[in-house]
Amino acid sequence: MDDTSGYAVYFFPPALESLGEAIKPYLHEGPGGMHLLCREIDTGGSLIEMTLDGLDAVGKPVQLEMMIPSNMVRMIVSARSDGAFGFGPRMVNPAMDIGSEHLPPIGPTATPVDAPSEALPETTQARAPQNAPAPDEPPA
């Protein structure tokens, strides 16, 4: 598996103890502890189904499928590098940089800022509510 895709599956310590020697050949040590590196993962059931890349007895690459009860898994981390992620500083991509010098502040057909609002249509006489007195009559 390459380092740019897949999942790291971390287990609870009692789960690793319970799985014992059967899981040890597939585990990797990392800063977060022992984990499995998986190509694909399916968490839609009581068992977590994982597809791992491995080697057979003669060193030929094979795909392994492993199923482990979901209550043994502490955390699953996606190891994908689809793009920038997080809050660290980023390099600006020159192809994406369309600063204000490239775009006009408003389009050539835009209405001026001080133009009257067109949200309400113009009428010669404002429509009064049905129960309200006419504008000429004093209120009762």
Q: What is the pLDDT of residues 14-62, one digit of tens each?
A: 999 999 999 998 999 988 889 999 999 999 889 999 999 888 889 899 9
Q: According to the model, what pLDDT value does residue 2 have? A: 45
Q: According to the model, what pLDDT value does residue 89 have? A: 61
CA distance 62 to 25: 14
CA distance 71 to 49: 13
Q: Is 43 part of a structural domain of the chain?
A: yes
Q: Is 41 part of a structural domain of the chain?
A: yes
Looking at the 3D structure of the chain, how many domains does it have?
1
Structural domain for 58, as ranges: 7-78
Q: Is 47 part of a structural domain of the chain?
A: yes
Q: Is 28 part of a structural domain of the chain?
A: yes
Least confident window among 32-36, 45-49, 111-115, 128-132: 128-132
Q: Is 19 part of a structural domain of the chain?
A: yes
Could you tell me which of 32, 33, 38, 35 has the C-alpha nearest to residue 7? 38
Q: Structure pTM?
A: 0.54
Which two structure tokens, joined as six digits, stand for 74? 């502490």
Q: How confident is the model at residue 5 (pLDDT cuts 50, 70, 90)?
A: confident
Give, in order, the Cα–Cα distances in Å from 59 to each of 16, 30, 39, 83: 26, 24, 19, 33
Residues contacting 38, CB < 8 A, separation 6+: 1, 6, 7, 8, 9, 50, 51, 52
Side chain identity at residue 4, one-letter code: T
Q: Is 45 part of a structural domain of the chain?
A: yes
Q: Is 130 part of a structural domain of the chain?
A: no
Find the mean pLDDT for residues 72-79.
90
Could you tell me which of 54, 39, 44, 53 has the C-alpha nearest to residue 9? 39
Strand 28-30 vs strand 33-38: parallel, antiparallel, or unpaired?
antiparallel
**Residue of 71 and 83 predicted with greater confidence:** 71
